[in-house]
Every structure is written in structure tokens, then in C-alpha cells.
Structure 1
Amino acid sequence: MKTISALLYSAAALALMSTGSSSVQAYSESFDLLDHTNLFSYYRPANTNLTAEQVALPAQCSVDQVHIVGRHATRYPSTNSYNGLKRIGDKVQQKLQANVSILAPELEFLKTWNLDEMITDPAHQIENLTALGLTEAYDFGASVRKKYAHLYQQDATVWSGSVERVQLTAKSFMQGLFGQEAVENHYANLITSNSSDKTIAANTLTPIDTCTNFPKGLGSPQQSAFQNTWVPQALARLEKLWPGFEFIADDLMGMMDLCVYEMALRSKSERRFCKIFTDDEWQSYDYFRDLSYYYDSGYGNPRARTAAYPYVAAVARLLAQPKTASCQKIYAAFSHDTQLSIFLTAFGVNEDATPLSSSAVNLARKTRASRSLLMGARLVTERINCGSEGSFVRLTVNDAVVPFDDCKDGPGLSCSLEKYLIRLKSIEAKAGDFMTQCGVAAAPGLSSVNTLFENPARNLCSSN
């Protein structure tokens, strides 16, 4: 693993490289590309239709408890993704050797393009955080310290899944939040939850992995059906740009993935691959990815609420306490995109009125991974104290307030704590019991309750 400083230097060097991007662009100037780049995108605040006035808190209100669950920050491709990208790179080289004179202007850059420019050391980079990812996590920690300065506690505990990129995200976040002292203390206040331990039931940050009955692959048939509505036309258009390349669906999706990865790994302004594709193709790409989230780890999966509810309930128990047993005020934890997807489902937000269709893009859908599950995504639950008016609860997703549809009449579109706890009862009823619904065999110490946050590394009451 490269050191953080080395990775940062590498990123800076790449950002200065000349990319030779083509001026030919298939998507329109007014099209918001980054709102359609989905799960591989680097972090950016979510688009929202809410105004600052709508979400502003009155002077008598202030946040007094915060719960964060984040996805790891920007990473290099996974092993499977990298193998797919490498296959495209090899195919490009083979086709170039056969005929280089028939490329359309928007593909001219492929004559000198090489995947090795972006991924220089696959053995150490694949699956791991990028330099940008380390910076994102650090900046997030610093922003939390600034935004919630009145809640800051130097010895607060942070929780993390056990996969290396998740731990590195948590550690970089801690550097931004606590400063150099976090490094000097060897991250003593970081608690790691074993992501591969199947015996911990609901007491985890990766409940999909411990819910034995969690259905897998429900989105694949939906994605396959949807591909038939747009991929053939896109392939025919691409073949006109490079006759004889023999584009297949994997080439199309892989090149669109390359657009997103190049922005994350080379430069945020790098859009050579992005420019190849039209508005409609980007909307279809985004929807294709969303179908997977919806059916694999969202409202279309009957066990999504079941697996995620113990986390939501754990947060609710702490929200209901005027002062928690450990006196901690900011609870931060880090996991993966699919885990965040089920957490959103258990919070009961962004639920579409009808299941997502595989016959056409639903432009009005609420399931939007580009706004909620991209690299570095973060869900933040705030408890807001308004004095004699009581306490309220509000959820933000990637820095945008996401009101609860059934309860948003409080300050800044929040929900009263009392009503929030009541609304969770109906979600709990839909979720069912974790142990029972997930098929986890009863054993000493196992339960449907997540108690991770009730056992921090330190009790902070003496310092309050």
C-alpha cells in the first residue's frame, strides 16, 4: 500500500498531465453529466430542489446529536471492473493495429490512449483508495468538525467495516476531524467491525453479509430487460464512429465506466470517454445502475429493510436519550454502497410510488444513486434541539436535506422526535425480526439488536 503522501503526489502529477481531449462532444452543453455517473463517481454534493430558506433552522434551534454512516471514499476499480476495462484496452489495441484510419474525431484520442496511464500499479491499486479518496475523507472529517464545532469531542469513537479501503476512509476522516493527534494515537478510538464474520447477526455495519436469507441478483433480470430498450441503438451508433470495431454491450458499459473512472483517477475535468455518449445514453446508463440498487439492495428487495433496520433502530435509541450513556455526541461509521442503500430503505426515504420499470427510464424516480450512493456518500441523521418546542430529527444525504415524506413539518423540514420514533414502528413492522427473517440460527450472544454504538472505545462523560 502506498503512503498517503505518495498517493497525493501521484494525484497531483496526474492532474497536470495533458489529456488531449477531443472538442467533439455527443452530450449537450446543458446536460448535467455528473448527475448521471452513478456509483463509480467521485464525491460531490447531491442535487436538490430544496432552497436554503426551506432547510434553514431558526435561531432557537441547534443540532445536539449527529449520526453519520458513510461509504468508503473514491477507490480504484474492483478486480472484476479492472478485468473488464483491461479487456477493452486490449481490444482497442488489436483494432488499432488492424485499421487506424477510420476513427471518428471523438475517438481519435484512442490512438494514444492506454489504460496503464490511469492504473499504473494494478497489484497495489485495485480495490484500494485513490489519492482523491484519501483527500475526500480528510475533507469530510474537517467539514464535520467545522459544521458541528459545538459538539466536537477529541476522544470520540469512530466505527468502520474491516475492508482496507473502508478502514483507510475512516482513518483519513479521523485525521480531518481530530487532526494529527489521531495519527499519533494510532487511531486508538477506531473500532473495526469484522465484515467477514457471519456469526455476529445484526451487530454489524455490513448486515447484507450476515443476513443469510438476503436475496442476491434480483436486479439482473430487470437490467437485462432494460438493456434491450437502448443498448442495440447505442451499439449501432458507436459502430458508425469506428466501423469494424464490433462493439458489444460490455464495450459500451465499460467505456462509460471509463469516463467516470478517468474523472476520478486522472482529473475531474477529464471527459474524453464521457464525450462519446449522448444525453439519452447517459440517462440510460444511470437508470441501468439504479435498477440494480433498487432490486438488489433497495425497496425492490424484500430483505433490504430487514437487514438494515437494526442500524436505524440503534440510531433511534440514542436519539431518544437526552444524553447517551457514553456522552458521545457525534457518531461516525463507514461501510459500503450497498449497505448504505439498504439503510436508506430502512429510514423510509426516497421510496418510489411503484416499482422501477425495466421498459423505459423513469425520469421522475426517487431512486438515484448518483445523488445518494456515489463514492464517499454519507447519510447524516441530526437531532435538532429547539428548546421548549422540543427535539426534531432530520436526514441529509450527500449534504442535501432529504425530508421524510410522512413527517416534515418541523424546522428545516425536520420531523419531531416523537413522531419520528412512532413512524419507525411501521417500518419495523415491515422489516420483521432480523434473526427470523434472515434465517440466522439462534446462538448465545446473537440477537436482532445492533449495539455497536453502545460500546464506544471511551466513555466521555467525565470530559463534559
Structure 2
Amino acid sequence: MGYLKTLTTGLAAASVASAGNAPLHQGFQQKQFEQTFYDGYNLLKYTGGLGPYSDRQSYGIDRNPPAGCEVDQVFMLMRHGERYPDWFSAEPFVKVLDKMSHSKVKTWAGDLAFFKDWTYYVPDSNLYSQESTTGPYAGLLNGYHRGSEYRSRYGNLWDGKSIVPIFASGYERVIETARKFGEGFFGYNYSTNAAINIIPEDASWGANSLTPSCAADTGLLACYFQPRTSPQFEVAAHRFNSQNPGLKLNSTDIFALMEMAAFELNVRPSTPWMNAFTMDEWVAFGYIQDLQYYYCAGPGNPNQIAVGQVYANATLSLLVAGPKEGSMFWSFSHDANITPVVAALGIDIPDQHLPNNTIPFPHTYHVTDIVPMGGHLVLERLTCSATAISQPGHFVRAVINEAVVPWSSCQSGPGYSCPLSEYAALVKRIPHFDNVCKTPAAYPQHLSFFWDYNTTTAHNYQRGPIASQLAATDS
């Protein structure tokens, strides 16, 4: 309709100009393209790995397969959906809220005027760590939506009869996301044709895991909880304190409140805390999130690149074998188990390590582009006929949060895809998990559950306490 209107308006204007030499600018002419873009001002892009899902900005490459190609095999590694904070993450929130409630402020004013009527969004401590079920950003809704969308996109890869495994690491919110994805993808066939396989989150499973751990990273969890501050947080604290005499917030308090705000959106449709902070403050907060992931579980940590090799190597074996080994592999895990895979594949690698005393505008490592809540990495195997750019063959492309992300050193295939042989060489250059992380000899040395999986539907729905499903021994 828009194209028709533009065409009609243009033809009419041209006709008038031709008949009476009237200037072409007479009358309204609709622009073909917008000249303003606001993605950089969307606050979701600065909540790091804490806030609701958002698509990654496209590089202009069609999300659908290139002309002359079809997807014959797909792999997805998805983070659980939006959730409540963990109790240990929420402790600083509760501490600051208690500090504010017991301050000498009589009337809340300025950017915090809303505080007198605002209520904390975790009414029951049992909700900590759980997937969210309320609001438009709800985690379970995200999982179901992704499954439904991918049924439309990849449903042709399922024959409508076979039982398809779905792999989830053994954590409740991860399992719940996997289940909702399965319901969205299979619909009424979920109870009979999907098979949830629960892979234990236990170091003794070695490389046969969706959550492999590296003994060399002894302080990995502590890495995420190092003190975080920024000059912008000092500015925010001064502003709030000036507007509300008697309030004594510091930069650490500000960081906690911003984390709390990001989590609130996972539960509610909006939060006044987001607007309490300036754009500059959110940019600083987002960069601290980038630093955390980059050095703790990203390309700034060579041990974690080796951790990412586990999934990369297993999926490479299946890509080379092709769909005879299976056409769909749906896997679910945590944010810090996906960022190592992205790093191992050589995606989103800055030219230099991220500095911790300044923001290197522009920089290329944005964690909200990789693992927001519900973030997902997809690897597609393309089978292509001969095109003007390539011979017939097999190619690989990566999709992160619905944007096709080409490899800078391997993009000679259709749609900037990577020839499978070159992709294989890329993966084989990754440091090996066992060599770097010194997996004990008694632990599994490679990932095998993609081959040794169960087709039982016993774990498709919750029945009592969640227990890990042993990949090869359960009935």
C-alpha cells in the first residue's frame, strides 16, 4: 500500500509538472527511507545480560536463506528466558532499598518522586531465580514465542513423525524455557514428539556438558561480582542526594539500583527506575556489563575460549556429517555458557582488549547483542546450488539474536556464508578444552549426548522435583 501510494503520488506530480511546468515539490511526497534511527537510544541495549530480550541490529543480510540455498541442518544454543534475580544478586537491591526507606527523606522528589508509591517486584522469596510468568517480557512467553517462530522457519526439517530431542542443562529455569520452546515448536505434538534431555550441570560430566567448567578459572563466579563503579554513577548519586536531602547514596548503590531496574522489566511492562537515570549513566552501566562478560566468560579469557570449543567441535562433527545424523539440535543453557562459544567461533572479537578506565567508542563487544535474556546463537548448514558467487556445495552461517553475523575472514559463500571446509579449519584452530582445562581422566573427554540421547517423553512436563536425566541410561 505504501509503495502504491508513493508511486501514484509520484506519477501524479510528474503529470502535473509535464502539463503545466509546475515544480515537482508541489504536494506531499512520502520518503522512501527513514533518515533517523533510534536503536542506539533504546535502553534495552544497555541492560547487559540482565534485561529483556532484544533482536540484534541487522547487518543488512537477509535472515532467510540466500537464493539457491536451503537450510538442511540447524543448531540453536539458547539462554533461558527472562527471570527474577537470584537471591544473592538481589541482596544489594534489598540493602539499598532498606537504606532509602530508613533515610531521613520526608518527601521523595525529583527523579525519585515515584519511590513513595513504588513496590518491590519480588513479593515472594520463592520467586528468586525463577523464570518470569508475568508482563509482556515474561520468560516463559519468550520461550514459547521462539519455538513458534522457529516452527515457521525450520518446520520443514521435521518429518512430522520422528521424536526430536531437546537438550537442557539441569537448572530449573533452563528446563522450563526448553519446555516452552518445545510447546511452541511442536504444538499439540509436544507431548509425543519432543524428548527433553536434561544434561547435569556437574563438573564430573567433563566435556559431555552444556555447562563445561575449566579448572583453570578458579575464581570465575567472583569475577562477575567485582566492585563496579563509574564517574557517571557518582553523578547520579549526587543528583538523587541533592534532590532528596537526607539521602546518602553512593556509586555502589547506584549500580545496584540499575541492576534492579533491568530485572524489573523481566516481570513488569515498565519500571520508573529506567527513566530515573540518564542516557549517559545507562551507557556506562552497559559498558560495565560488557567488561564483565568479556573478561569473565568471553574473548578476554583464553580459558573460556577453550570452553567454547566443546560445543563448537561437537556441532562441527554434525555439520560435516550432515542431516543424516539429525537435522535439528535445540539446546538450552546459561549466558556464561554461550559467550564462550561465540568467542571460540571468532565472533565479536575486538581488535584490542577492552579498557577498564574508559569506553572505547565505538566498540564491538556488546553483551546485549549476544546474551540478553533469551539470547540465542544459531548455526545453519546451507546446501546451495551453483551461484554467481560460488560453486554448489555446503556452507555455514551464524545467526545471533536474529541477525546474520558473517565471519570477517570467511564469507565467500552465498549471503556472506562460510564454505563448510573453511569453517572446519576455523573451528580446528580453537584451543582444545581438555588441553587447556586439564579435564580429569575419569571425566568424559568429549560431548556425546548429541548422539547418545533419549527419546523418552518422561521429562517433557514437571512431575515432582527436577532431577538430571542421564543421557544414555534412562529408560
Q: Do both proteins adopt the same fold according to a TM-score greater than 0.5, normalized to the shorter chain?
A: yes
Q: Structure 1 residues 153, 347: closer, same or farther in 2, change over 3 A?
A: farther
1:405 positional shift = 1.4
SS of 2:323 mapped into structure 1: coil
Within 2, Cα distance between the matches of 1:134 and 1:237?
37
- The alignment status of 1:47 with 2:57, answered yes or no, reads yes
Q: CA deviation at 1:44?
A: 1.9
State the partner residue of 2:166: 158
8 Å contact from structure 1 (residues 138, 175) kept in 2: yes
C-alpha distance in structure 2 between counterparts of 1:252 and 1:239, whole Å: 11
Matches within 5 A, 1:350-429: 350-388=348-386, 389-427=392-430
Question: Deviation string for 1:8-32 (max 9, x for gaps)?
Answer: xxxxxxxxxxxxxxxxxxxx99822
Aligned partner of residue 357 in structure 1, secondary structure: coil
Q: What is residue 13 of structure 1 aligned with on the other side? A: none
Q: How many Å apart are 1:156 and its aligned residue?
A: 0.9
- Amino acid across the alignment from 1:296: C
Q: Which residue identity is paired with 1:452?
A: F
Contact persistence 1:104–1:242 (CA under 8 A)? yes
The TM-score with structure 2 as length reference comes to 0.81
Q: 1:407-444: CA deviations, max 9, x gaps?
A: 112212211111111122222xxx13x2332122212x
Give the secondary structure class of the aligned counterpart of 2:175: helix
Equivalent residue number for residue 127 of structure 1: 129
Q: Deviations over 1:254-277 (max 9, x none)?
A: 22123212222111xx14101111
Counterpart of 1:261 (choices 263, 266, 291) is: 263
Q: Which has the larger radius of gyration?
A: 2
CA distance in 2, matches of 1:122, 1:256: 20
Q: Which residue of 1 aligns with 2:451?
A: 454
SS in 2 for 1:424: helix
2:46 is matched with: 36
**CA shift for structure 1 position 381:** 0.3
Structure 2 partner of 1:278: 278
1:140 to 143, 146, 149: 146
Equivalent pairs, count: 408
Distance in 1 between the 2:194 and 2:223 partners?
Answer: 42
% identical aligned pairs: 28
Name the counterpart of 1:68: 76
> CA–CA distance in 2 between the matches of 1:66 and 1:57?
12
What residue identity is the alignment partner of 1:383?
Answer: R
Shift of 1:217: 4.5
Change in CA separation of 1:127 and 1:319 when aligned onto 2, cut-off 3 Å:
same
Letter in 1 for 2:385: G
Is the contact made by 1:385 and 1:392 (CA closer than 8 Å) also made in structure 2? Answer: yes
1:199 paired to 2:199: no
What TM-score do you get using the length of structure 1 for normalisation? 0.83
State how far apart, in whole Å, the 2-side matches of 1:348 and 1:86 are.
39
Match of 2:96 among 70, 88, 95: 88
Cα separation, partners in 2 of 1:137 and 1:175, compared to 1, 3 Å: same
Partner-residue secondary structure (3-state), 1:370: helix
Q: 1:157 to 1:273 in 2, by over 3 A?
A: same
Deviates more, 1:434-443 or 1:227-236: 227-236
Give the direction of change, closer, same or farther, for the CA distance of 1:331–1:231 in structure 2 (3 Å limit). Answer: same
**Cα 1:280–1:164, aligned 2, differ >3 Å: closer, same or farther?**
same
When residues 105 and 230 of structure 1 are mapped into structure 2, their CA distance, relative to the original with a 3 A threshold, is: closer
Paired residue for 1:21? none
Q: Is the 8 A contact 1:223 1:288 kept in 2?
A: no
SS of the residue 1:355 aligns to: coil
Task: Mark the runs of 5 or more structure 2 residues left unpaired by the alignment.
Answer: 1-37, 387-391, 457-475
What is the Cα-based RMSD across aligned positions, in Å? Answer: 2.3
Residue correspondence of structure 1 range 232-381 to structure 2 within 5 A: 232-267=234-269, 270-325=270-325, 328-381=326-379
Moved more, 252-261 or 349-358: 252-261
**Contact 2:44–2:52 at 8 Å: present in 1 too?**
no
Which residue of the partner structure matches residue 104 of structure 1? 109
Verify the 8 A CA contact 1:45 1:371 in the aligned structure 2.
Answer: yes
The alpha-carbon deviation at position 87 of structure 1 amounts to 1.7
Structure 1 residues 201-220: aligned runs within 5 Å? 201-208=206-213, 211-217=214-220, 220=223
Q: 2:416 corresponds to which letter in structure 1?
A: L
Cα displacement (A) at 1:202:
0.6
Determine which structure has the larger helix proportion and give its number: 1
1:339 and 1:30 map into 2 onto residues whose CA distance is 27
C-alpha distance after superposition, 1:173-192 (max 9, x if no partner) = 1101111332x34x861111
The residue type equivalent to 2:131 in the other structure is: L
Q: 1:219, 1:292 within 8 Å by CA — same for their partners in 2?
A: no
The equivalent residue for 1:79 is 87
Q: Deviations over 1:96-126 (max 9, x none)?
A: xx3323x3332111011121xx212222x11
TM-aligned CA distance change 1:179 to 1:106, over 3 Å: same
Unaligned runs of 5+ in 1: 1-27, 460-464
